[in-house]
Every structure is written in C-alpha cells, then in structure tokens.
Amino acid sequence: MVIGIDEVGRGPLAGPVVVACVLLPNTINLESSGLPLRDSKKLTEKQRKEWFLWITRNPAIRYAIARSQPRTIDTITISRAANKAAYRAYTHVVGDETPHALLDAGLKLPKHILQEAIIKGDEKIPAIALASIIAKVTRDTYMERMHIKNPTYNFKENKGYGTKAHIATLKRYGPSPLHRLTFIRKLGIL
C-alpha cells in the first residue's frame, strides 16, 4: 500500500486549505478507470469529477479529507494549518499505525512518522495525484456552495483566488468571514 497526501488552496484569499490522504493498495489497476491520471490542476473539471467518483466509490481505496478554515490560517499561518490538516487526514486513514507517507513537497507530518516530501509529487506518484484530485474537487465544491450563500464575491468562478474582479469586490465591500485577513492585508486591501 502507498499513502499519498496533497493539499489544495494554499494561495487563495478566501476559503479553507483542504488536504486529502489516500491509501492506495498496490493491487489497484488505475488504468481500469479509463481516465488520464495527473496532477488535479492539469485535468479538466470533468476529468477531476470522474476521478473523484471513481476513487470515492472504490471500496479498496481508503481516503480522508481535512481542512483548515481561514481563522485558523490567520492564527497559525497557512503552512502550519495545512500540516495540521495533513496530520488529521493521515491519522483518519491509518488509525494507530504509522506507515510511510508520501507527501507533495511543502507538506510535513510530525517527525515520528516516516515520510518523504516529493517535489511535484502530484505529477510523479499516483497516490499523491489521487489525493490532489480529492482535495481539489472537495474544495471547489465547498466554494461553489459558499457562492450560493454569498454571491457577492463570485466564489463559484474564482474559488477564492485573487482575481482582479475578486480584489475589486473586496475593495468595494470588504472581506467576508470566509476571507483570510492576513492574505488580504499583504495585498494592502485592509
């Protein structure tokens, strides 16, 4: 079995950072999905959703999702928030065991866990690519739901990233509870 961990949402101005952990048995034939496997950013939205369904409906694959919300990110920094979410997802998948984990570079688990951070791991390691897909679809879906609750910021389209239109809306209306105040301050908006 291989454990892959990846995060999505490190850079946006709004929304959580979402981390997924996937425990992938070596016996799984990923080609049976009929889908290309690569980093979630390099797949179409349709391909990501098809992969998401394939992963979540496959009883042999264990996965977990954890997120850190904007207040946590503002309080402890994005890196620490992502690492805490990674550990929560990891422990949910493995329980009391501490198997070797492969992480996309930038993430870290506590030192007592055998781990390897791989640069562009989501492009090289299938379990990390699957974690990337789970995290991306989960975060995008969440931001689309937040758009329904508050359409002012157009989260359905920008997913919380700092587009010109999003920044202009922030300047006009100020931040919502979903915004990361530390990120907005760095842009000089607050």
Summarize pLDDT for 64-85 with one digit per residue, the tens.
999 999 999 999 999 999 999 9
pLDDT at 38: 86
Q: How many domains does the chain have?
A: 1
Q: How far apart are CA 159 and CA 144, in angstroms?
A: 7
Q: Which residues are CB-contacts of 50 (< 8 A; sequence separation ≥ 6)?
A: 33, 35
* pLDDT value of residue 190: 79
Residue 5 and residue 16: Cα distance in Å, rounded?
16
Whether residue 107 contacts residue 119, with contact meaning beta carbons closer than 8 Å, is answered with no
Q: What's the pLDDT score for residue 98?
A: 79
pLDDT of residue 189: 86
Confidence of residue 126 (pLDDT cuts 50, 70, 90): very high
Q: Which domain holds residue 79?
A: 2-186
Digit-coded pLDDT (tens) for 173-189 = 999 999 999 999 998 98
Q: Domain with 10 in it: what CATH number?
A: 3.30.420.10
- Using one digit for the tens of pLDDT, what is the confidence trace for 47-61? 999 999 999 999 999
Least Cα distance to 190 among 81, 74, 32, 59 occurs for 74
Burial degree of 126 (CB within 10 A; 0-12, 13-18, 19+): middle
